């Protein structure tokens, strides 16, 4: 099996400024995993590639550690299917990565993190603002027209959110009643009855997993 750094078609130098952005964003926001881990990249019609991997949530690129210990950026390939880092799987769909939370062998909840860096944000002196997702809250401090990320030594404001989806096989779906019926065609009447009785669409990962499990 080829090591990841031997896959010549995937190698690119580290993007300029990438390390600076890590300093301006908490690492657990900038990366989808808390640290680089042993991973595999699975392709359609090609043998897997292996290496020390992470995924950047800002630009949806695979990052890996090269022979010299530096972080490098892998050129994205259209035939990527899935990435496994440690025990966590990510589905690659429509050029974005979704963390997979399975409820069966081919179905589950997919979580996509969206991170947008704001470079021209200004606000009143010493004001504060916050950006929230379903699981975390992040704060940005504004002082004298500049934006300082709390607990950081760099100036990179950002918005972050984590959105819930469903996946089956290699496809990702928004969470709607229509798509639930599509994924569970034999449960259409049960799904319709559930929503008529007031069952809401899930807003948290645990609720979505429980909902899917109830129809398996």
The yes-or-no verdict on residue 171 having pLDDT over 90 is: yes
50 with 1: CB under 8 angstroms? yes
3-state secondary structure of 43: strand
Q: How far is CA 9 from CA 21, 47, 66, 75, in A?
A: 26, 13, 14, 8
Find the mean pLDDT for residues 157-168.
Answer: 90
Output the pLDDT for position 169. 95
Supply 168's token pair: 């089956």
Q: What DSSP line would sit under 146-165, residue for residue?
A: EEEETT-SS---EEEEEEEE
30 CB-near residues (< 8 Å, 6+ apart):
21, 22, 56, 57, 58, 115
Tens-digit pLDDT profile for residues 60-83: 999 999 888 889 988 878 899 999
The residue extents of the domains of the chain are: 4-114+161-174, 117-158, 176-216
Output the pLDDT for position 10. 39
Tens-digit pLDDT profile for residues 182-193: 999 999 999 999
Tens-digit pLDDT profile for residues 78-108: 899 999 999 999 999 999 999 999 999 999 9
The yes-or-no verdict on residue 114 having pLDDT over 60 is: yes
Buried b (16+ CB within 10 A) or exposed e, 185-206: eebeeebeebeeeeeeebeebe
Tell me how far the alpha carbon of residue 76 is from its chain's centroid: 15
Q: What is the H or E stretch that residue 97 is in?
A: strand 96-102
Find the mean pLDDT for residues 11-19.
Answer: 39
């Amino acid at each position: 099996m080829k090591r990841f750094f031997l896959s010549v078609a995937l190698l690119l130098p580290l993007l300029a400024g990438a390390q600076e952005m890590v300093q301006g964003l908490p690492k657990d926001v900038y990366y989808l995993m808390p640290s680089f881990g042993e991973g595999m990249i699975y392709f359609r019609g090609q043998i897997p590639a292996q290496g020390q991997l992470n995924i950047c949530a800002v630009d949806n690129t695979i990052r890996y550690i090269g022979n010299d210990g530096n972080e490098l950026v892998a050129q994205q390939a259209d035939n990527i299917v899935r990435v496994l880092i440690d025990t966590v799987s990510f589905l690659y769909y429509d050029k974005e990565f979704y963390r997979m939370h399975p409820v069966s062998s081919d179905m589950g909840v997919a979580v996509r993190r969206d991170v947008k860096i704001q470079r021209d944000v200004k606000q009143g002196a010493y004001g504060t603002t916050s950006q929230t997702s379903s699981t975390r809250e992040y704060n940005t401090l504004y002082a004298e027209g500049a934006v300082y990320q709390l607990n950081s030594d760099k100036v990179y404001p950002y918005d972050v959110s984590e959105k819930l989806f469903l996946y089956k096989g290699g496809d990702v779906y928004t969470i709607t009643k229509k798509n639930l019926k599509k994924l569970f065609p034999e449960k259409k009447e049960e799904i319709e009855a559930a929503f008529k009785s007031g069952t809401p669409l899930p807003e948290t990962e645990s609720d979505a997993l429980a909902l899917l499990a109830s129809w398996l």
